[in-house]
Amino acid sequence: MSSARRSPLLSFTRSELRSAVESITFNPNPSPLPNDPDAPRKRWYHYLPLCGTLFMILGPQPSWLYVLVDFHLRTLNKPHLTVIHIAVSYTLTFMAFSSLIVCLARDPGPPNALSRLEGATSEGEDVDMREALMPNNDFSSPSKWCRKCWAPKPERTHHCSLCGRCVLKMDHHCPWIGAKCIGHRTYPAFLHFLVSVSLLSAYVSGVCGHALWYSFNHPFVVNEVTPIHELVLMFYGAVFALIVGSFACYHIYLISTNQTTLENISPFLLLRHLPPLPSTGHSLSDPPLEPELAFSQRRIVKDAHANVFLYNIGFRKNWAQAFGYTTKSQLLFRLWCGGASPGDGKIFPRNPRAEVMLSRLARELVELDDDR
């Protein structure tokens, strides 16, 4: 930081500032109460969908074990096949529960001020108070400042009205995993959970489909109850694999193009990223607000949204941003439970092509406004 910008009366050493900011903003045991006083309080019934999720995974276990023991062990008399099916299905179940626990237990991404101070300059170097508390951000913009939490809002951070707080790189609010948001620190675990459940469902469905086919062809060697378990499990697994697998494929697409669910389903979020509009000759705010736009302007924003991937920096880099690892132990952790995305979740490189397209969109919006 240049000494010319530093006020002598408002100058602090890094350690002084760190302790001051820690005492103000960092709470290692954050209160479960939301920052937003208008947010709904969490009630017991908000956990019912989570109970449903657990029941849908654990409910079919007795039937599954019955099929394995009665069909594979007694009828086929193949203990090695039974062991393989038990090992594969319970490894996938264990992985699914591990990532579910990560999603439930971890904070999805608290936007506190510490990470910017850490590593920005060396210990002992003076930091201007204005610079520390008001980093290079225009807090008058609604995308940079949360008026409900009354706190800075880093890039891609959104305020969840159900949780009553801001979440770093918020993806969506998920009722099925304890009515929590999925954000920067839980997104890989969330996708890991979806993929594990999809694979588990497909595996159980495939094994039971094969067992059912065998029962049709050898009706006198199987007992009369086992095919019913096999039929139910086959359909149950197939339906789950299709539904949860579709979500998993959607999120694989989102990671490949570096979008969050919110960014993908909200075309008018693009307006926040437009370059400054000309100061005269139009009636739009800067940045423009969705209700101000005419039908034709809304249409070009939606067209642009289908083509502008603001954070898409290439397939490999997009995946590294979500699932990156540097050591083998981190890779094992990723495979076991997904974990958190690397980085502080506050700064994201932008696609240079998207900036050009945003400039064009801004020009077209102003031109259409002039024609009205």
* Residues identified as active-site: 174
Exactly one of 92, 181, 194, 293 binds Zn ion (CB under 5 A); that residue is: 181
Dig out the tokens for 306 from the structure. Answer: 């289908």
What is residue 160's three-state secondary structure?
Answer: strand
Considering only the stretches 64-72, 180-188, 323-331, 352-360, report the one whose residues sit in contact with Zn ion under the rule CB under 5 A.
180-188
Q: Which residues, numbered 119-158, are part of the site for Zn ion (CB under 5 A)?
A: 146, 148-149
The C-alpha atoms of residue 251 and residue 194 are separated, in whole angstroms, by 9
Closest approach, Cβ 166 to Zn ion, in A, equals: 3
Q: Enumerate the β-bridge partners of residue 172.
A: 182
Considering only the stretches 1-9, 174-182, 285-293, 345-353, report the one whose residues sit in contact with Zn ion under the rule CB under 5 A.
174-182
Considering only the stretches 9-17, 133-141, 163-171, 219-227, report the one whose residues sit in contact with Zn ion under the rule CB under 5 A.
163-171
Our CB check for Zn ion shows the closer of 72 and 165 to be 165
Our CB check for Zn ion shows the closer of 36 and 369 to be 36
Closest approach, Cβ 7 to Zn ion, in A, equals: 30
Helix locations, the chain, DSSP H: 14-25, 48-58, 61-67, 79-105, 114-117, 129-133, 187-217, 226-256, 261-265, 295-307, 315-323, 328-337, 352-371
Burial class (CB in 10 A: 0-12, 13-18, 19+), 201: buried
Closest approach, Cβ 144 to Zn ion, in A, equals: 12
Q: Enumerate the β-bridge partners of residue 160.
A: 165
The C-alpha atoms of residue 342 and residue 231 are separated, in whole angstroms, by 43
Closest approach, Cβ 159 to Zn ion, in A, equals: 3
Our CB check for Zn ion shows the closer of 169 and 173 to be 173
Exactly one of 1, 39, 162, 357 binds Zn ion (CB under 5 A); that residue is: 162
Inter-residue contact 188 to 106 (CB < 8 Å)? no
CA distances from 64 to 54, 144, 160, 174, 252 (A): 16, 51, 39, 28, 29
Exactly one of 14, 85, 156, 173 binds Zn ion (CB under 5 A); that residue is: 173
CA distances from 260 to 142, 180, 256, 264 (A): 19, 16, 11, 6
Per CB under 5 A, 166 contacts Zn ion: yes
Closest approach, Cβ 66 to Zn ion, in A, equals: 39
Our CB check for Zn ion shows the closer of 180 and 229 to be 180
Per CB under 5 A, 202 contacts Zn ion: no
Please count the other Cβ atoms lying within 10 Å of the Cβ belonging to residue 174: 20
C-alpha 253: how far from chain center: 13
Q: How many residues does the chain have?
A: 372
Number of residues located near Zn ion, criterion CB under 5 A: 10
Exposed e or buried b for every residue in 256-294, given b needs 16+ CB within 10 A? bebbbbbbbeebebbbebbeebeeeebebeebbeeeebe
Exactly one of 95, 163, 208, 255 binds Zn ion (CB under 5 A); that residue is: 163
Closest approach, Cβ 168 to Zn ion, in A, equals: 11
Exactly one of 18, 85, 159, 346 binds Zn ion (CB under 5 A); that residue is: 159
Exactly one of 160, 168, 241, 244 binds Zn ion (CB under 5 A); that residue is: 160
Considering only the stretches 51-59, 81-89, 125-133, 173-181, report the one whose residues sit in contact with Zn ion under the rule CB under 5 A.
173-181
CA distances from 340 to 21, 68, 99, 182, 320 (A): 25, 36, 10, 11, 12
Per CB under 5 A, 50 contacts Zn ion: no
Closest approach, Cβ 157 to Zn ion, in A, equals: 8
Our CB check for Zn ion shows the closer of 86 and 162 to be 162
Where do contacts with Zn ion occur on this chain (CB under 5 A)? 146, 148-149, 159-160, 162-163, 166, 173, 181
